[in-house]
Amino acid sequence: MTSNYKKNKKLLNAKQVGSIFFVTPNPNRGIGLEEEIKDYHIICSQKTDLVDCLKNEKISILCLDDDNIKSSGKLLESKKVLDYIKKQSKQKTANIITFKPSPKIHKICKDNGFRYLGNDWRLNRKLEDKVEFVDITNRLKIPNAKSRIIKIEDQERFKDKFNFKNKNKYVIQLPRGYSGNSTFLIENKNDLEKIVEKYENRIVKFSKYIEGDAYTLNVCVGNFGIVVSQLIYQITGLTLFNKNQLGTSGNDYVYSERLSSIEKKRIFNYTKKIGKYMAQLGYQGIFGLDLIIDKNDVNLIEINPRFVGSIPAFTKLQLQNQEVSFLFLHLSEFLGLNVDSELLLEDLSYEKWNKQNIFSFSQLVLRNTKDVPIKIVEPMVSGVYKFDQDKLILKNKTYNFKNLNDKEVLVQCLKKNSIVSPDTEYANIQFGYGIIEHNHIKKEYKKIVETILNNIQLK
C-alpha cells in the first residue's frame, strides 16, 4: 500500500475523535495502533508480561487480572471498567472496540452512550454462519468446494451421502465455531457415527474434503473501496498446537510466494465480489476470508466478519512498512473520518495488489489441546529469545517483533497459574521469517519450537 500513512493518522489524533478503548480479555488482541494514537487504551482481564511491557512504554492499559472473565462483554460490564472509560473519556463520547460484536456489548454501549466501532452483531452472525456462506457463494457464482446444506439425520438415512471407497473424505461444519472446533473431518464410518450421535437434526455445511493448501486474507471495506492484504498461508493439521484436525495453528506470510498468477487473479476477483456483497449489506471495516487451493482450483471456505487473530501483528507489519494500516481504515470508517482516498486508489487494482511487498513474518499459536482446562505451572518470560546451542537465551523483555534476526523469536505467554480453557491460546511464537516448507515446519525451526514447548510447563 501507500507510504503516506502519516498524512492520514493525524485524523485519529484529532480532539473531536475522543478516547478509543480496545476491550479484550487477552491484551495481545488490543495491540497494533497503541503507539500511533495518543488517546488509546487497552482494557483486559488476563495478566501477562505484555501488560507490564505496555506500562513501561507509557501505553494506557487497565488490567483486571481475573482469568474468570473470558469475554469482552463480561469485561465491559464490570463497574471498574465502566468507571475507567467514563473517567478517561472526559465527558466526550467513548469509542469502544472489541474483537467481535455481541448483543451484550451492543446493549452496554447503548445504555452508557458509548460509540461502538464495529458492525451490528446481527449482521456479524448472518455472515459468519458457515451454512449461510453456501448460499452466498452460490449466489455470487464463486467456487466453494461444492458445498451443500444438509440436515444430519439418523445414520441409515444419512450414510447414503457418503462413499468411503477410494479413501474419499468429507468435511462437515456447524454454523459457528472458532479455531476449527466446529469443523469435522469424516474419514470413515466411525467418524460418521460420532457426528450423527452428537449433532442429529442439526443443519450443517457438507462438502468433499479437498487436499490443498489453506490461505487467509485480511480485507477492509469502506467508503474508500475494498483493500485486500497479501495472501497469508494458514498452518493447519499440527495437532500438537490445535487438537482440531482442520484447525489453524498459525500463519506464514512468506509461503504465499509459491502461488501462480492464475491462482492469485482468481483469489483477488473472488475477494472483491465478497467485499462488494458485504458492503451492499451495510458491512464496514475489517473481515477475514479463508480459502483452499488445490491444483489451481480456488475454493472459498468461510467469512470471518470481524477482527481476525492476525490483525495485531499484521498492523505492526504495515506500520513498519509505512503503509496505511487496515486497522486505521477500520477505525476511520466508523468514526466518519474523511480518509484521503486518493492515497488508496492505486492500491485497489489487481496489478498493484500483485506487486505488493511480501512481509517476512510467521507465527505459531499454542492452544490448550485437552478437553479440560489446563494450568500454566511454569511460563516463559515474554520477550525476544536467541536460540544458541540448543538453548533459548532471553535478549530483551518486549512485545515487539521488529528486526528479528535468524534464530531469534518473540515468545508471548500467559502468567504462572493461569487457567486455560480448551481450544484457548496460552502462548504464541513470532518469527521474522518464513518457517514453512512443503506444508511442514522447517527442520531448523522445529527444534526452536520444541525447546519452547519444553520450557512452558502445563498441568
Residue type at 276 in one-letter notation: K
Distance CA 29, CA 41 (A): 12
Strands 297-304 and 285-294: antiparallel
Distance CA 341, CA 281 (A): 22
Within its chain, how far is the Cα of 276 from the centroid?
A: 21
67 and 46 in contact (C-beta within 8 Å)?
yes
Distance CA 84, CA 419 (A): 26
For 95-149, the DSSP string reads EEE-SS--HHHHHHHHHHTPEE-S--HHHHHHHH-HHHHHHHHHHHT---TT-EE
Q: Any idea what DSSP says for residue 94?
A: P
Give pLDDT tens digits along the chain (459 positions). Answer: 444 556 566 666 665 678 999 999 999 999 999 988 889 999 999 888 899 989 998 999 999 999 889 899 999 999 999 999 999 998 889 999 999 999 999 999 999 999 999 999 999 999 999 889 999 999 999 999 888 888 887 666 677 777 777 778 888 888 877 666 778 888 888 888 888 888 888 888 888 888 888 899 999 999 888 999 999 999 887 777 777 777 788 999 998 777 788 888 999 999 999 999 999 999 999 999 999 988 778 999 999 999 988 899 999 998 888 888 899 899 989 998 877 655 565 557 888 888 887 899 999 999 888 889 999 999 999 999 999 888 899 998 888 888 888 889 999 998 888 888 888 888 999 999 999 887 788 888 889 999 998 998 888
Domains and CATH numbers, the chain: 5-117 (3.40.50), 123-130+211-354 (3.30.470.20), 146-208 (3.30.1490), 362-458 (no CATH)
Strands 248-252 and 362-367: antiparallel
- C-alpha cell read off for 385: 529469545
